[in-house]
């Protein structure tokens, strides 16, 4: 499973502003902006909304998290097979709000490959980006935890972490798509990220908590 790059990935987390009907509405807005602008957008619904949103809206969806288990007696867990059956094209892995064991990240990536699912593994610094690159995910999203939700874009606050991660990851495997995230909220931020070598951005509150999410998405799309 490939994702068209450059890409904007919207992770709606577990915000009040992205729950239930609002989750579906945000997905539809993303779809509309994607159609309008031609920019590739991927949507990560709330975990309990995944099958619903993925079935209702024709936009590529990722799960926000996958558990490293085989299908079976795993009450309350989200296994990759069920994520695929829900209609998602892949999953976020190791988000800073859902960190994982290194052995589990390795297992998720391998199983996702056999299921043709796309993996976006989040990392917090360059050494961790290199470590994860050795596990051969589809994509790595470098997100300095301090900047998440800060409104200060990583592409301005810490441009070196972006360009260093891009170089380090591509050096290990040039097929890995490198994204960046944290504090991204404008088209200018996206443009700066792309200029640093990123092939897209991962963002959340900048859109979800915006008064007019559609306008923000349209602005973000201008950066690509």
The one segment of 1-9, 25-33, 78-86, 215-223 that binds its own copies by CB under 8 A: 78-86
Which of residues 46, 119, 163, 164 is near its own copies by CB under 8 A?
46
By residue count, the chain amounts to: 224
For 175, the token pair is 């097929």
Alpha-carbon Rg of the chain, whole angstroms? 16
The one segment of 29-37, 48-56, 173-181, 183-191 that binds its own copies by CB under 8 A: 48-56
**206: Cβ–Cβ under 8 A, 6 or more apart, which residues?**
151, 183, 184, 185, 186, 216, 220
Give the max Cα distance, the chain: 47
Query: What's phi and psi for 44, nearest 5 deg?
Result: -115, 95
Distances from the Cα of 100 to the Cαs of 47, 66, 94, 122, in angstroms?
17, 10, 5, 10
Q: Does 135 bind its own copies (CB under 8 A)?
A: yes
Q: Does 19 bind its own copies (CB under 8 A)?
A: yes
**175: Cβ–Cβ under 8 A, 6 or more apart, which residues?**
none
Q: Is 199 a catalytic residue?
A: no
CB of 75 to its own copies, least distance (A): 4
Which of residues 10, 59, 92, 207 is near its own copies by CB under 8 A?
92
Q: Active site residue: 95, 97, 188, 199, which one?
A: 95
Q: Does 131 bind its own copies (CB under 8 A)?
A: yes
Q: How many residues bind its own copies (CB under 8 A)?
A: 72
Q: Does 63 bind its own copies (CB under 8 A)?
A: yes
Q: Does 55 bind its own copies (CB under 8 A)?
A: yes
Closer to its own copies by Cβ: residue 137 or 194: 137
CB of 43 to its own copies, least distance (A): 14
The rounded distance, in Å, linking the Cα atoms of 93 and 52 is 21
Q: Is 188 a catalytic residue?
A: no
The residues assigned a catalytic role are 95, 143
């Amino acid at each position: 499973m490939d994702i068209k790059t450059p890409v904007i990935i919207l992770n709606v987390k577990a915000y009040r502003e992205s729950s239930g009907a609002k989750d579906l509405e945000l997905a539809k807005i993303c779809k509309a902006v994607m159609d309008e602008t031609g920019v590739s957008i991927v949507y990560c619904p709330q975990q309990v909304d995944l099958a619903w949103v993925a079935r209702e809206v024709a936009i590529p969806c990722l799960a926000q998290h996958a558990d490293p288990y085989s299908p079976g007696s795993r009450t309350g867990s989200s296994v990759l097979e069920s994520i695929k059956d829900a209609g998602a094209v892949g999953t976020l892995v190791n988000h800073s709000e859902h960190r994982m064991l290194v052995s589990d990240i390795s297992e998720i990536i391998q199983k996702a490959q056999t299921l043709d699912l796309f993996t976006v593994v989040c990392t917090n610094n360059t050494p961790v980006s290199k470590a994860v690159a050795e596990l051969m995910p589809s994509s790595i999203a470098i997100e300095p935890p301090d900047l998440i939700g800060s409104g200060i874009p990583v592409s301005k606050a810490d441009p070196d972490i972006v360009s260093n991660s891009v170089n380090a990851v591509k050096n290990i495997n040039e097929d890995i798509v490198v994204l960046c995230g944290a504090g991204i909220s404008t088209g200018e931020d996206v443009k700066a990220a792309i200029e640093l070598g990123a092939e897209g951005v991962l963002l959340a509150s900048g859109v979800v908590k915006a008064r007019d999410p559609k306008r923000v998405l349209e602005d973000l799309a201008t950066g690509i």
